[in-house]
């Protein structure tokens, strides 16, 4: 006999009580059923789920394809008016703004259910001690290397440095290692290896009063990046586009990038590999981790239905694998990840993310990017020492937060 989920039992009871009390089922289930806003990549996987849910529950599910960049701003406007969707699919760093303004419904998971997910994926959607999103995919940058130039990836920063010195010839536009050296996002794994962080994660969420971009570990990591610039191994002002272009031309041995560049490398015919970012004095590099997931509208009349949809499909191995096939990021559900981990790209990006730190999901993070991007520029250009650049950046962040920016 097939078991019935507790959510389905509760849903049925809610509908019965609504009818008995004279309220009518429409008060428990909106007339247009369940509405989900998602971007293009997830639609092929979610469409059959929506059809099956309607067949099983008799409730229509409408998938509305919305440009990824438009989902959050449109949701902010429409949710409080009752015109928003029941579920949105998006990034974990939306949570701080949306939860703080009361637009998201907390998601309750049992300890056994939480155990099914990669811990970092749940941390990413945690705000104020509550979970506000059900993750389906995680991503982080890793080391992508050209096997024709670098047969085996380096295991330590010293090995990376040696390879960079051996291969770099600026006159020939050939480099051993490149990364966008004016961007804090790409520098962060090195700053975090020995304890640097943007905002400390407490278990309840990120603490905006605890800033770690200028601690001893962060400064030590920044010195390594300064060395790459001083020796001319990574040209000053290297941006993402120039890094990627040179790599796809076969002129770069190693780059820092994410799974989004796999298709480009394959199309260019590069014999590439993916590995974890080299360790620093035995400490793993710790990149920022981005997590994608489903969030429930707190104003939705269909919160019970929304949770049932997540329980029935998104929290299953089959559901996460279906999404992965259309949008190949590392699955957040352990069982789904294990299913695809034989793919070396998935395994490597997954290993990098496992060492990583969730990108802070609090609104205060907006202040960090400008201050730290500037600091990285000052460091690699030789305009400031790592100590001065990071301490001034941290003070700018503290001042801005104190002023309420």
pLDDT value, residue 328? 82
pLDDT value, residue 279? 97
pLDDT value, residue 27? 38
Distance spanning both ends of the chain, measured CA to CA: 58
What is the Cα–Cα distance from 72 to 92, expressed in whole angstroms?
11
Q: In the sheet that 252-257 helps form, which strands lie side by side, from edge to edge?
A: 175-178, 252-257, 142-146, 272-275
pLDDT value, residue 204? 86
pLDDT value, residue 32? 72
Instruction: Summarize the chain as % helix, strand, coil (round to 5).
Output: 50, 20, 30
pLDDT value, residue 5? 53
Closest CA to 286 of 159, 367, 198, 387: 198
Closest CA to 215 of 235, 194, 230: 194
What sign does the dihedral 34-36-40-42 (CA atoms) show? negative
Domains and CATH numbers, the chain: 6-139+289-358 (3.40.190.10), 142-286+364-402 (3.40.190.10)
What is the Cα–Cα distance from 338 to 207, expressed in whole angstroms?
33
Number of Cβ within a 10 Å radius of residue 241: 9
What sign does the dihedral 87-110-357-284 (CA atoms) show? negative
- The DSSP secondary structure of 266-314, one letter per residue, reads HHTT--EEEEPPPBBTTBPP--EEEEEEEEEBTT-TTHHHHHHHIIIII
Spatial neighbors of 384 by CB under 8 A, at least 6 apart, are 375, 378, 392
Spatial neighbors of 50 by CB under 8 A, at least 6 apart, are 34, 36, 61, 62, 63
- Ordered per-residue pLDDT tens for the chain, 405 residues: 444 455 555 555 444 444 344 433 333 445 579 999 999 999 999 999 999 999 999 999 999 999 999 999 999 999 999 999 999 999 999 999 999 999 999 999 999 999 999 999 999 999 999 999 999 999 999 999 999 999 999 999 999 999 999 999 999 999 999 999 999 999 999 999 999 999 999 888 899 999 999 999 999 999 999 999 999 999 999 999 999 999 999 999 999 999 989 989 999 999 999 999 999 999 999 999 999 999 999 999 999 999 999 999 999 999 999 999 988 889 999 999 999 999 999 999 999 999 999 999 999 999 999 999 999 999 999 999 999 999 999 999 999 999 876
């Amino acid at each position: 006999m097939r078991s019935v989920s507790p959510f389905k039992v509760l849903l049925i009871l809610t509908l019965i009580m609504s009818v008995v009390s004279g309220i009518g089922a429409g008060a428990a289930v909106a007339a247009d059923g369940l509405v989900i806003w998602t971007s293009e990549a997830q639609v092929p996987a979610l469409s059959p789920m929506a059809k099956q849910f309607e067949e099983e529950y008799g409730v229509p599910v409408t998938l509305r394809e919305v440009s990824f960049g438009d989902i959050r701003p449109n949701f902010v406007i429409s949710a409080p008016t009752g015109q928003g969707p029941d579920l949105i699919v998006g990034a974990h760093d939306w949570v701080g703004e949306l939860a703080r303004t009361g637009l998201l419904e907390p998601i309750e998971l049992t300890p056994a259910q939480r155990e099914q997910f990669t811990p970092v994926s749940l941390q990413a959607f945690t705000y104020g001690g509550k979970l506000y999103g059900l993750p389906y995919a995680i991503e982080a940058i890793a080391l992508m290397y050209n096997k024709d130039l670098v047969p085996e990836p380096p295991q330590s920063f010293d090995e990376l440095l040696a390879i960079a010195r051996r291969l770099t010839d600026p006159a020939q536009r050939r480099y051993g290692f490149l990364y966008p050296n004016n961007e804090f996002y790409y520098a962060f794994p090195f700053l975090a290896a020995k304890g640097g962080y943007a905002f400390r994660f407490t278990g309840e969420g990120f603490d905006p009063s605890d800033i770690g971009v200028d601690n001893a570990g962060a400064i030590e990591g920044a010195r390594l990046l300064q060395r790459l610039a001083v020796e001319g191994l990574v040209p000053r002002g290297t941006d993402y586009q120039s890094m990627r272009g040179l790599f796809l031309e076969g002129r770069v041995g190693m780059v820092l990038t994410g799974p989004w560049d796999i298709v480009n490398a394959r199309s260019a015919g590069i014999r590439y590999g993916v590995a974890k970012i080299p360790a620093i004095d035995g400490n793993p590099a710790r990149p920022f981790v981005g997590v994608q997931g489903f969030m429930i509208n707190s104003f939705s009349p269909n919160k019970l239905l929304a949770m049932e949809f997540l329980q029935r499909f998104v929290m299953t191995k089959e559901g996460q694998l279906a999404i992965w096939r259309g949008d190949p990021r590392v699955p957040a559900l352990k069982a789904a990840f294990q299913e695809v981990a034989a793919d070396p790209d998935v395994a490597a990006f997954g290993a990098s993310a496992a060492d990583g730190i969730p990108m802070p999901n609090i609104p205060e993070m907006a202040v960090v990017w400008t201050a730290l991007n500037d600091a990285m520029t000052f460091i690699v250009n030789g305009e400031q020492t790592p100590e001065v650049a990071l301490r001034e950046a941290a003070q700018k962040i503290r001042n801005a937060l104190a002023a309420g920016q």
